Amino acid sequence: MMLHSLSKTIKSFLLDPALNATTNSTDRLFLLSSLRSLTQIACHSSSTASSHTSHGMHGTTVLCVSKDGNTVIMADGQVTVGSQAVVKSTAKKTRKIGEHVIGGFAGAVADCFSLIDRLETKIEAHPGQLTRAAVELAKEWRTDRYLRHLEASLVVADKQTILEIYGNGEVLQNDEGVISIGSGSSYAWAAAKALMDTDMDAISITKKAMNIAADRCVFTNKNFSCFQINNDGEISEVDMEEEKGHGK
């Protein structure tokens, strides 16, 4: 409210012809600079409030599908500042975590990488125990003052388990074979669930559902990145350009 009142006062001053006549160019430049700074502060405050409201999941879609012994995690590549500017369209929001885990993230990119690094440390401390590693991370997340301010959510999977790790320290295990987080998560999840009973494989389901989410969510594009893990724990990165060529 104070920022709004101050901005309004400066605008009124700059637009008043009588006051302009008595103001030199240096003072006008100072007032314009002040107005610009106030506007940037107000926009930053607004976008920060918005991101807290959405638990750091605003501006992306991540989908995980597990079917017939193959688990796939796919994410779009759009990075959005606030709700107005797209600053990158080819970001990779999926990655291999350690030797036997894949993951995807939604939220502030730097915060996500910070959490993934911490999760990787926990996985190294508890090899082959993804659930325990995630729970240990969640405990640290809830108690560490620095971690509590990170705006990030993760979907992680090994050959047996799929987990959602949320910004409030919650860890949820999924037994349905479909998990989605982010702005377009409801579209992606619904589409993937509807396709699970078809003869499509995990990659095809994930890609189709992500395309549907991208068509509906303005914060999601079709520059996908993707990792998959099979029953033997073998991890591979899916070449999405090749998938496009196959028309899947």
Q: Residue for token digits 């911490």?
A: 118
Angle at 164 between CA 93 and CA 177, to 5 degrees: 95
Nearest CA among 63, 102, 101, 50 for reference residue 181: 63
Q: How many CA atoms lie within 13 A of 211 on its CB side?
A: 11
Q: How remote is the C-alpha of 93 from its chain's centroid?
A: 7
- Under DSSP, the state recorded for 188 is H
In angstroms, the first-to-last Cα distance of the chain is 51
Per-position DSSP letters for 189-229, written without gaps between them: HHHHHHHTTSS--HHHHHHHHHHHHHHH-TT--S--EEEEE
Q: How many CA atoms lie within 13 A of 168 on its CB side?
A: 6
Name the amino acid, one letter, at 113: F
Nearest CA among 52, 148, 152, 170 for reference residue 103: 152
Q: Which residues are annotated as catalytic?
A: 60
